[in-house]
Amino acid sequence: MGIRSRDVTILNIIGHIIVGLFALIAVVPFFVVAINSFSTEHSIIYYGYSLIPKEFSLDAYELVFQNPQKILRSYGVTIFITVAGTIISLFVSMMAAYVMFRKDVRYRNSLAFFLFFTTLFNGGLVPFYLLIVQDLHLKNHLMVLMLCGMFSVFNILILRNFINGSIPDALIESSKIDGAGDFRIFIQIILPLSKPGLAAIGMFTALSYWNDWWTPLMFVEKENLYTLQYTLYRILSSANFSTQIVNSVPRLDMPKESLKLALTIVATGPIVLLYPFVQKYFVSGITVGAVKG
Amino acid sequence: MNKGFIHELMKNKVLYLMFVPIAVYFIVFNYYPMAGIVVAFKNFNYSGGMFGSPWVGLDNFEYFFSSGKAWLVTRNTFLYNIVFLAAYTFFSILVAVLIAEMAGKVFKKTAQTLLFLPYFLSWVAVAAIVYNLFNYEFGVINTLLKNMGIEPIDIYSNVSYWYFILPFFYVWKWVGFGSILYLSAIMGLDNSINEAAKIDGANIFQRIRYLTLPLLKPTTIILVLLGIGRIMRGEFDMFYQLIGNNGILMDGTDIIDTLVFRSLVLSPDFGMASAGGLYQSVLCFVIILLANGLVKKYDRDHALF
């Protein structure tokens, strides 16, 4: 069908306009921040933010990197909890998914409901807060950053569906006949064959660790345990943030506004640069999840 | 029966052991706090703790409901979530349908990637962006207004702007995610009907109106009902980051979650926090049961349980 009919052309025009507009709206606000972080303080104060920087300057970034200990420290904390938390979360979630997948586990549906019920009812914030602070004494502890929100019931159920759809029962049966134990089957067969599912769920887990600021807001007062996003939040929301970040006597010509912008870019830049390369895992995760959790 | 239970555990002991770590986690972090809801009926003090503090019956609830806050935050939580859900569903389907039907592979791929960007930003970063757009002195909006010779507007002290800004940024953050979700549903539709309609002379708008959208209806209804199940669970991250503790905007933007948070952390008021928290949990539980009942009635296979 070489020639496109008129209705298809009209839809194409409408589609390009609407989708294109939405795509622009999605990215422009971030790029306004990015562009203005390279602007001088003077031009922000006098002309306001603009789409093209009037006076180019790296002052703000220089200030950030003059004394980068705090930023680097929270980068370190965040990278650590993201990597370690994601690995532990994936391994334990996958074990649970595997147990609920095995048809010879008679109580597998009860186990699934035991997990699922927690998505229907919860004790609310106060008992959870008291548990962490009073019973587990995890306040100001690195572990709390990993333990809070470590598992998602929906992710576990998606992993189980993934195993269900990709690993035939006969494979389990034949491995058992060959003398492999249940744990060994998990390590040597289930894990390697579930890499796509693990990659997708692992990405969601990693992103929620990376972007976490709620846990330190609730449970961390020690500055050396701040996560990256929480450090950014503290700096943006405190009145004398500039002295906080650069550990120095505030100068009159301190680029306050552009410093905020530069910090936002330093804290979110890596993920913006990285996500186009990993988004396919998120897309496959959403698609698998859409087929009923 | 009992013998069967022990026998089953022994037979699959490795498998049940493999479930122990997750079971321990959920017992400690989810089931134990469920028992902790008793704190809502107590006059909490730190030495007595969750279970040892003295009982006060329904005093905390009386206090919560007579404070005038209960109705306000319930209304706000409910109305915001209704608007969020409606706008999110509408725009996600719009984008998904257009992307599914239009030509231009590279354009579509690029647009999808760009649309997905906000999903990856933390609400802290989004708050920084929002502040840069709307602040009074040098925000983008006010800079534009000033350049056009119009008086700048003080968005951070006028709540009526936020009735639009909050839904806008909710959709902004989630439409990339939602459109992928609906797009995958469209891709799963049977294409042969569409081809047949094309041969019969239906134009593309008719095919969208009379084929794609009706075929998408089951998925939409399920997703909306699941969204309704979460209608009393506020978007704490968004409200806390975008509004924070701005007193001027409080009445129009306080939701149950922000009230409970403030009562617990900022102005220690355990009575208010625990009563509000339990009130929300029970409300959520009842609503999700109702929503699931509706899903079940509509389509058994898609019910949650």
Q: CA-to-CA distance for A258 and A53, rounded, in angstroms?
A: 11
Find how far residue A267's CA is from the centre of its chain.
Answer: 13
Range in A110-114, A191-195, B118-122, B145-149 the model is least confident about = B145-149
Q: Residue A46 contacts by C-beta under 8 Å, 6 or more apart in sequence?
A: none
Per-residue tokens: B222: 């399920």
pLDDT above 70 for A291:
no
Q: CA-to-CA distance for B116 and B100, rounded, in angstroms?
A: 16
**What's the maximum distance between 2 C-alpha atoms anywhere in chain A?**
78
Other C-beta atoms lying within 10 Å of the C-beta of residue B201: 7
Cβ of B285 within 8 Å of Cβ of A237? The answer is no
Chain A: closest CA distance from residue B151 (Å): 14
Nearest CB to B281 within list A93, A121, A182 = A121
Interface of B with A in 77-106 (CB under 8 A): 91, 94-95, 98-99, 101-104
pLDDT digit string, tens, across residues A55-97: 788 888 888 888 788 899 999 999 999 999 999 999 999 999 9
Fold of A69-219: MetI-like fold (1.10.3720)
Computed over every residue of chain B, the mean pLDDT equals 92
Residue A90 and residue A205 in contact, taking contact as beta carbons nearer than 8 Å: yes
Q: CA-to-CA distance for B9 and B32, rounded, in angstroms?
A: 24
Per-residue tokens: B24: 């321990």
Instruction: Give me the pLDDT at residue A293, please.
Output: 38
Does any CB of chain A come closer than 8 Å to the CB of residue B290? no
Does any CB of chain B come closer than 8 Å to the CB of residue A209? no
Instruction: Give me the pLDDT at residue A133, please.
Output: 94
Nearest CB to A151 within list B25, B113, B138 = B25
pLDDT digit string, tens, across residues A37-55: 888 887 877 777 777 777 7
Instruction: Give the H or E element holding residue A24.
Output: helix A6-36
Nearest CB to B25 within list A102, A106, A150 = A150
Instruction: Give me the pLDDT at residue A44, please.
Output: 78
Residue in chain A lying closest to B263 (CA): A126
Domain assignments of chain A as residue spans, ordered by start: 6-66+238-290, 69-219
Residue A56 pairs in a beta bridge with A39
Find how far residue B132's CA is from the centre of its chain.
Answer: 25
Q: Which amino acid, residue B72?
A: L
Other C-beta atoms lying within 10 Å of the C-beta of residue A4: 12
Interface of A with B in 210-229 (CB under 8 A): 210-211, 213-214, 217-218, 229
Q: What integer is the mean pLDDT of A99-118?
A: 95
Nearest CB to B19 within list A99, A113, A229 = A99
Cβ of B12 within 8 Å of Cβ of A105? The answer is yes
Q: CA-to-CA distance for B210 and B196, rounded, in angstroms?
A: 13
Instruction: Give me the pLDDT at residue A243, please.
Output: 54
Q: CA-to-CA distance for A89 and A258, rounded, in angstroms?
A: 38
pLDDT above 70 for B214:
yes
Q: Which amino acid, residue A12?
A: N
Per-residue tokens: B171: 């959709």
Instruction: Give me the pLDDT at residue B137, please.
Output: 83
Q: CA-to-CA distance for A47 and A35, rounded, in angstroms?
A: 14
pLDDT digit string, tens, across residues A127-175: 999 999 999 999 999 999 999 999 999 999 999 999 998 999 999 999 9
How many residues appear in chain B? 305
pLDDT above 50 for B17:
yes
Find how far residue A248's CA is from the centre of its chain.
Answer: 32
Q: CA-to-CA distance for B169 and B172, rounded, in angstroms?
A: 5
Q: What is the pTM of this model?
A: 0.93
Candidates A78, A117, A122, A221, partner chain B, best to mutate (most B CBs within 10 A): A122
DSSP summary character for residue B156: G
Domains and CATH numbers, chain B: 2-52 (no CATH), 69-302 (1.10.3720.10)
**Residue B57 falls in which region: left (phi positive, over 0), alpha (psi -120 to 50) or beta:** left
Q: Residue A238 contacts by C-beta under 8 Å, 6 or more apart in sequence?
A: A244
Unique residue bearing structure tokens 């009159």? A252
Q: CA-to-CA distance for B191 and B205, rounded, in angstroms?
A: 16
Per-residue tokens: A183: 């744990």
pLDDT above 90 for B144:
no
Cβ of B114 within 8 Å of Cβ of A11? The answer is no
Instruction: Give me the pLDDT at residue A254, please.
Output: 66
Instruction: Give me the pLDDT at residue B191, please.
Output: 86
pLDDT digit string, tens, across residues B236-289: 999 999 998 888 999 999 999 999 999 999 888 888 999 999 999 999 999 999
* Sign of the Cα pseudo-torsion (A82, A83, A85, A90, in order): positive
Residue B242 and residue B123 in contact, taking contact as beta carbons nearer than 8 Å: yes
